[in-house]
Copies of this chain bind each other. A is one copy, B any other.
């Protein structure tokens, strides 16, 4: 995952044992990637290469091996595996990196040990811009967290890291010209310039471009703490502690604002070698501008009739600064004003309409609407969104060619260094496949099967979305046995921002049930598949029925133990009803299976009552959803139809 553009399986397999390795003679720029590859083979197989040195079994031919990563470069590769060896060919470093990742995904346990199946793969991406945005402002994400996410990105062939470095809640980049930005705006949590250079080079080594974002003129409260003179309106200002749209924004009317931005952007442009530079540009409510006499006078003088016109003026000025420093502007879809130059890139977040509109006007665009990972929607939902779907389907081929790809976005109001991985992964892998693989690869069941497989492997890149689960459950359980809690969390799903009653502030602890729960329950998805099979043909799968019955029994028996665990525990108080519902769902599932197994028809009144009860249980509480309801519902509906 992502599925290659073309893949033909053949007979036989290449054994991956202690003699396996990469043939010498590869391009020296690939040496670090080859080391990482070998470490990953070791992780995936547990086989340590024998000290005698590997036999040459994977040969890499990279020619001319153009340096990477560059937008629009040739990322294609071919990979041939036979029982006697493997061969990887590419024209660029990025192509070779992608081929190595594909090879790692081929390794599997076979009848006589680990192996890679014989295969011919000719692969290239559908879109050139395949990104992940991490919001490092709302919650700071330390360098190791960023880096492990870069490794996971590379594993699924994402090639743009969009680094959201400033927002109302924190200014995370060290400026030497304007040190009060980070000194007053970050609570001490920021990246030094050395760290930013390190991240850029870490990403580049993995074929990933880094596009920094400094959101302006809105979302700039953290700038104003140290530099209140940049604001339209009077300070003093404080770092934003809650979330949403704040009134204070930059002053577009003072020349000093642009002098400051010229210095600051120049400084940052030197740190980030990629030609694209993101200036945000979203969510300016205009309040501060309307309230400022100076700004209003300026607007009148320049014939800028409203907030949008003022923001367009501001953007024009910033654009010139970017051009001066050799950068191309990227911005959220609000920047699409009347006089925006044609080389700007529009990132659509408010809807796919703006993407199509931009493309039809000749602007290049990337889609993020539908890829907001923090909404905690299903992988299938994100997978169904296509950059060329919806309104973009009506574009001419020339217009459609302006759509460069898309970006999954992870806003961190409700995620921190500990939980962010579990909010990004594995679902971002489904988005990665949407950006890479041919458009007709779109079966969600097939996607989920591969997502689960890649999910295990992603953990070996260093992200902790699976491994920190036990720790988070342990924290909730305190000194008590964690078992019944695990049963409940496994059967539940976390919901995203805006769905709960939690007071959202920066320092609100992310230590609750919802924070441990995953956006999608893998185990419940298995039960749904089983339930569908059984509802379609109940007599065909007695083992499946036994499995469902066993799991329902575990659920039914769980609440008594859970209530003991939760007693006097403030963190678990809010899910006591959820636990009762899980046990009720289990008991209901057993009854339904009893009806399935007997010749007695289920009374329709009983079925209706159960259906109402399931509908009640389904309503989320404490920001979590009882996923367990779904397989029970499938069985009940099958029973009604019988």
**What residues of chain A have their CB less than 8 Å away from a CB belonging to chain B?**
18, 43-48, 50-51, 108-113, 187, 416, 418, 450, 452-453, 456-457, 459-460, 464, 466-471, 474-483, 507, 509-511, 515, 522-523, 526, 543, 546-547, 549-551, 553-554, 556-558, 560-561, 568-572
Copies of this protein in the assembly total 2
Q: Verify A48–B543 contact, CB threshold 8 A.
A: no
B-side contacts of A466, CB under 8 Å? 470-471, 474
Q: Which residues of B contact A569 (CB under 8 A)?
A: 109-111
Instruction: Find A509's partner among B45, B453, B471, B553 (CB 8 Å cutoff).
Output: B45
Residue in contact with A109 in the complex, picked from B51, B111, B457, B572, CB distance below 8 Å: B572
Report yes or no: A51 in contact with B483, Cβ–Cβ below 8 A. Answer: no
Q: How far is the CA of A464 from the CA of B471 in the complex (A)?
A: 10
Chain B hits for A509, CB < 8 A: 18, 45-48
A459 and B468 CA atoms in complex are apart in Å by: 10
Contact A112 B570 (CB under 8 A): yes
What separation, in Å, do the CA atoms of A556 and B546 have in the docked complex? 8
Given contacts A481-B526, A551-B554, 16 further A-B contacts (CB under 8 A): A46-B515, A51-B507, A108-B478, A108-B479, A109-B569, A109-B570, A111-B570, A112-B570, A450-B479, A452-B481, A457-B474, A466-B470, A466-B474, A546-B556, A549-B557, A550-B553
Closest 7 CB pairs of A and B: A46-B511, A456-B474, A453-B479, A550-B553, A543-B560, A467-B467, A546-B557
CA–CA, A554 to B543, complex, Å? 11
What's the Cα separation between A478 and B18 when bound, in Å? 18
Whose C-beta in chain B lies nearest to the C-beta of A49?
A: B507
Chain B residues positioned under 8 Å from A560 (CB to CB)? 543, 546-547
**Closest approach, in angstroms, between the C-beta of A387 and any C-beta of chain B?**
28
Q: In whole Å, how far is A305's beta carbon from the nearest beta carbon of chain B?
A: 42
- Contact partner of A470 (CB less than 8 A), chosen from B109, B459, B551, is B459
Q: List residues of chain B with CB within 8 A of the CB of A112.
A: 570
24 contacts between A and B (CB under 8 A): A43-B471, A43-B475, A46-B475, A46-B509, A47-B511, A51-B507, A108-B479, A109-B478, A110-B569, A111-B569, A113-B570, A456-B471, A459-B471, A459-B474, A466-B471, A467-B468, A467-B470, A481-B526, A483-B526, A543-B561, A547-B557, A549-B557, A550-B554, A554-B554
A480–B450 CA distance with the chains assembled, in angstroms: 9
- Chain B nearest CB from A4 CB (Å) reads 15
Interface contact A550-B556, CB-CB below 8 Å: yes
Which of the residues B450, B452, B471, B572 comes within 8 Å of A467, measured between beta carbons?
A: B471
User: CA–CA, A481 to B561, complex, Å?
Assistant: 28
Say yes or no: A45-B475 contact (C-beta < 8 A), given A507-B50, A549-B557. yes
| Nearest opposing residue in chain B for A546, CB measure | B557
Q: A570 and B110: CB pair below 8 A?
A: yes
Complex CA–CA separation, A112 to B480 (angstroms): 17
Query: Are the C-beta atoms of A571 and B476 separated by less than 8 Å?
Result: no
A110 contacts which chain B residues (CB < 8 A)? 568-570
Cα–Cα, bound, A75→B526 (Å): 53
* Cα distance A553–B552 in the bound complex, in angstroms: 10
CA distance A109 to B47 in the complex (A): 42
Least distance between A547 CB and chain B CB atoms (Å): 4
A561: B residues at CB distance < 8 A: 543, 547
How far apart sit A452 and B475, CA to CA, in the bound complex (Å)? 13
Q: When the two chains form their complex, are residues A475 and B44 in contact, meaning their CB atoms are under 8 A apart?
A: yes
Judging by beta carbons under 8 Å apart, are B510 and A46 in contact?
yes
| Chain B positions within 8 Å of A572 at CB level | 109
